[in-house]
Each structure stands twice: as C-alpha cells, then as structure tokens.
Amino acid sequence: MQQSLLGLLLALLCAAGASASSAANQLSLPSYHYAAPISVECMNRSSETGEHIENPDSHEIEWIPFPVCDETKKPLEFNYGLEGEVNCTIPMVSDPFFHLLEFYIHSDAPLSCRLPSRPPPQLEVLGEKPAAQEYIPLVFALAGTLQSSHMHISTHMNVLLHSTPKHHIHPHDSGVLDSGIAYSTSPLSHMEGSWTRKLIIGDPLPLSFSVRWFPTPALPKTEGKVEWQGIGGHIYTSTVFYSLVSFLAGACVSGVYFLGIVLPSRLKGRALGGATPLGHGLNGIGNGWGIPMAKRNVD
Ligand SMILES: *[C@@H]1O[C@H](CO)[C@@H](O)[C@H](O)[C@H]1NC(C)=O
Ligand SMILES: *[C@@H]1O[C@H](CO)[C@@H](O)[C@H](O)[C@H]1NC(C)=O
C-alpha cells in the first residue's frame, strides 16, 4: 500500500520534472530584444522559370538575403517591436531581377521570404545539440501591372508582424516572432504622387514599408474587446451591444413620447388642421414607428 503510494508520488514528481525541463529548454532559447535587427531572406528563384532553386545534394530550398538597400547598404531588416517607415531602394533593377518582378506581380511565383523566429543562440549548452533555427514565412504580396516594355509597381507596402503571446512586463519587452505578412497598398492608383512607380530595366526601385507590430497573433483588442479601427473609427463588440441597448431604449422613449405627447397633440391638432412635427396625418398609413392602429386610440 505504502509502496504504491510512493510509486504514484514518484511518477508525479517525474512528470512535473519532465515538464519543467521542457519549459526550461524553451526558456533557454533566446528572444529578440526590443529593436533587435531581424534580417529578411528570400527564396532564390530562377529568373527564367520563376521556380525556386534547390541545393542539388540536399534538395533544400536555397534562401538568399533580400536585395541590398541603398539607404543602409545592407539587405532589408526589420527591428523587433519598432514601428515606423522603412525605406529600401534597390539601386538598380537588373535584367534577371526585372523578370523576377514580373513573376511576383503576376503571382506566378510569390516573393516568398522568411524571418528567423528567434535570434541565433549565443551560448551553447555543453553536450546539447543546439536547437534548429525556426523561421516564419513572410510573403511580400507585390502588386502592379505589366506592359510590354515596362511595368507599374506599387512600391509602398504595409508589413504586419505578430509576436507570440507572452506576459509583457515592460512596454518594450523582448519576444519571439509568431507570423507576418506584407502587401502593396493602392495597387489600382496610377495617380501622380502616389506610390505607383513606372519601372524599366536599370531603374532604381524605391520600396517603402510601413511596419506595425502586434503583441499576440490576434488582431488588435482594447481592454479585451475586439477593436476594428475601421472606416468611421473604433468599433467595439461592446459598442454594438450598447448601440442595440440604446436603440431599444431610444425606441421605447420615442414610443412613449409619441403615445404620450405627439399623439395627444395630434388628436388635438386635427381640429386645428392636423399639422404635427412628424408631418404625418393620423389618417396616414405609416407613423414611422409601426405602432398598431389599435394603440392609437390611447387617450
Ligand atoms: C541564385 O541562383 C542562381 C542560379 O542557381 C545563382 O546563379 C545565383 O548566384 C543565386 N543567387 C545567390 C544570391 O546566391
Ligand atoms: C522615405 O522616402 C520618402 C520618399 O523619398 C521620404 O519622404 C521619407 O522621408 C523617407 N523616410 C525615411 C524614414 O527615411
């Protein structure tokens, strides 16, 4: 009896120990500090077919750095948690790169890139295999139109990046990448001064990115409520509830107002020519509130 109890206790301790050690493994993996650079790498593709290029031996996809930006003289980078505008001018669109842009714009091949979800480990625990680097996909949905000799390309892109959820202690806390997407804005606008650019081989390609970060994989919430900062401002789920309540309350008040004040004065007004604020005679069909005829006899 005592032995089996001891066995159970041991089993529980072991289970607890095992889960603690796997949690410790997760904890020992590094996180990005606020503003840490995260470099973008993309699939190398054939400019003839748009197909991705594989290492002939391992058949692994070949990832190459994003083209070098004239502003930084480095391939494109984002900074963990840092929001704002990032410019990256590719100084000269070469012939093969121009053909790749045609594939991207036709979506024959996406501009498929990736970001390391965590920074590389700095310390290696002796005798332990370092954890494999994990990446999140980042597709640049580049939009534009193709003409025979040139293309129009929407050079302004929004970049949305999500962190994995965690309890954030500081406003500029560290974290791990969860997911992301980048897309050209206003692809149909060809107006002067917009972000659409006419491009021929040899031109520079001035890309600009508006980067925003989300602290979790979820879309923005305020005080636990889903928030859509859409056309017309913020809409909260609670707003919808309050709107409904105030609509009903409003309907009640209006009904009381109508039955208690408008209707009696209309009844009196009938003798005086029937002019009422609502402009409907009592013999008219609708009163705007759908109050049944029977109820009109109140008073
Ligand atoms: C991409 O692949 C092509 C074809 O194999 C190769 O010529 C080119 O050097 C590669 N690009 C980079 C940046 O490694
Ligand atoms: C990015 O480029 C635009 C257009 O050339 C310029 O107006 C803007 O100031 C630049 N922004 C940054 C952050 O460099």
227 with 241, same domain: the answer is no
CA-wise closest residue to 282 among 268, 86, 176 = 268
pLDDT at 225 over 60: yes
- CB-CB contact of 34 with 80 (8 Å): yes
**137 and 262 belong to one structural domain:** no
**Distance (Å, rounded) from C-alpha 200 to C-alpha 95?**
9
Same domain, 107 and 179: yes
* 198 is a domain residue: yes
Choose one of 234, 253, 272: the last residue of a domain: 234
- Ligand 1 contact via 44 beta carbon (within 6 Å): yes
Q: For a pocket test of ligand 1, which of 64, 97, 99, 103 has the largest count of ligand atoms closer than 8 A to its C-beta?
A: 64
Say whether pLDDT at 33 is over 80: yes
Would you say residue 2 lies in a domain?
Answer: no
Q: How many domains does the chain have?
A: 2
- Kindly identify the ligand whose nearest atom is closest to the C-alpha of 68: 1
Q: Which of the residue ranges 19-23, 198-202, 224-228 would you say has the lowest mean pLDDT?
A: 19-23
The domain in which residue 170 lies consists of: 31-121+130-234
- Nearest ligand to the CA of 211 is 2
Distance 202 CA to ligand 2 centre (A): 21
Give exposure, 21-32, as e/b (b: 16+ Cβ within 10 Å): eeeeeeeeeebb
- Are the C-beta atoms of residues 69 and 106 closer than 8 Å to each other? no
Q: Is the pLDDT of residue 16 over 50?
A: no
Assign 3 to helix, strand or coil.
helix
What number does the ligand 1 atom closest to the CA of 44 have? 1
Q: CA distances (Å), 230 to each of 167, 222, 261, 271, in order? A: 27, 14, 40, 51
14 pLDDT above the threshold of 50? no
Q: Is the pLDDT of residue 259 over 70?
A: no
Mean pLDDT of 234-253: 51
Residue nearest to atom 9 of ligand 1 (CA): 44
Residues 185 and 61 in one domain: yes
pLDDT digits (tens, 9 = 90+) for 133-143: 999 999 999 99
**Residue 228 maps to a domain:** yes
Pocket test for ligand 2, best of 85, 156, 205 (most atoms within 8 A of CB): 85
Judgement on whether residues 261 and 200 belong to the same structural domain of the protein: no
pLDDT top residue among 105 and 254: 105
Which of the four pLDDT bands, split at 50, 70 and 90, describes residue 189? Answer: confident
pLDDT of residue 58: 87
| 250 & 134 share domain | no
**How much is the pTM?**
0.69
Q: Is residue 18 in some structural domain? A: no
